[in-house]
Amino acid sequence: MKDIIHFSHANGFPASTYRTVFAELADDYEIRSIERYGHDPRFPVTRDWPNLVDELIDDMSRHRDDAGGAHPKVWLVGHSLGGYLSLMAALRRPQWVKGVVMLDSPVIAGWRSGLLRVMQRTGLDERLSPAAATRKRRTRWASRDEAWRHFRAKPAFARWDERMLSDYIEFGIPAYADGTRTLAFDRHIEYLIYRTLPHTLGARLAHGAPVPVGFIAGTQSTEVRQVGLAMTRRIAGAHFEWMEGSHLFPMERPIETARAVRRLLTAMVR
């Protein structure tokens, strides 16, 4: 029986965007995921994301119920938003979780957590994060080709593996009957997620994590530079790796990312 990975996506990028990563892991793991966090009205986006954590736990619980008497522990793997949700779900349900791998989800702790709280209250966080741009994000394209050209011309997306960009356009910008395409991830929900980033997670990890934690950091990640890695290194210990690339390194190097995830999961079993 294969181990189970419950994968959680980054903000704005539906889980199907990561199909290339999943395919590389599929021989060894059963992959589960929630396609779009925050879009189920039962789990709205609020400060510190408690409902989004509930959404992940609810999905884990549903699979456990479907398994009848067998309740195997799962691995939680997540990118950015998904890494935080994975860790917070493990804090809530450690008995269900083998371990967590976070992909460029550095834990905000210490003085930075206090600073984030103040910035959120004053609105300064909007100007210093992708939130402001998200509010005006383009949502419609006339065709798949137009969407492809639009994103390929952007420096951040130009670095993406073509398979990842193709899946993002296919599933993140699905087509209507007339061929036009619209973002599947509601830009207002994406905006709210950025504006409600948890500032309490570091405090909850003061005595360590209840399950093994692995971490992969992008060598050129702005998020890692802004947040720092002191708390993240503390909870990950030896299970820490660097990956060449930006905050979106899973999109830039999906095969290498999948192999790094496999290495960490294997190491955390020992």
User: What domains can be seen in the chain, in order of their start residue?
Assistant: 3-133+188-269 (3.40.50.1820)
**Virtual CA dihedral for 90, 215, 34, 73, nearest 10 degrees?**
-40
d(CA 258, CA 223): 21
3 state SS of 30: strand
Find out whether 48 and 196 touch, Cβ atoms under 8 Å.
yes
Q: How many CB atoms lie within 10 A of CB 17?
A: 28
Model-level pTM? 0.94
Find out whether 223 and 80 touch, Cβ atoms under 8 Å.
yes
Instruction: Determine the pLDDT at residue 106.
Output: 95
Strands 140-141 and 181-182: antiparallel
Instruction: Determine the pLDDT at residue 120.
Output: 76
Instruction: Determine the pLDDT at residue 177.
Output: 93
d(CA 62, CA 11): 23
Instruction: Determine the pLDDT at residue 15.
Output: 98
Instruction: Determine the pLDDT at residue 81.
Output: 97
d(CA 28, CA 3): 7
* 45 DSSP 8-state letter: -
Cα 37 to chain centroid, rounded: 10
Tens-digit pLDDT string for the chain (270 aa) = 899 999 999 999 999 999 999 999 999 999 999 999 999 999 999 999 999 999 999 999 988 776 665 678 999 999 999 999 999 999 999 999 999 999 999 998 877 777 777 777 777 676 667 777 888 899 999 999 999 999 999 999 999 999 999 999 999 999 999 999 999 999 999 999 999 999 889 889 988 999 999 999 999 999 999 899 999 999 999 999 999 999 999 999 999 999 999 999 999 986
Instruction: Determine the pLDDT at residue 72.
Output: 85
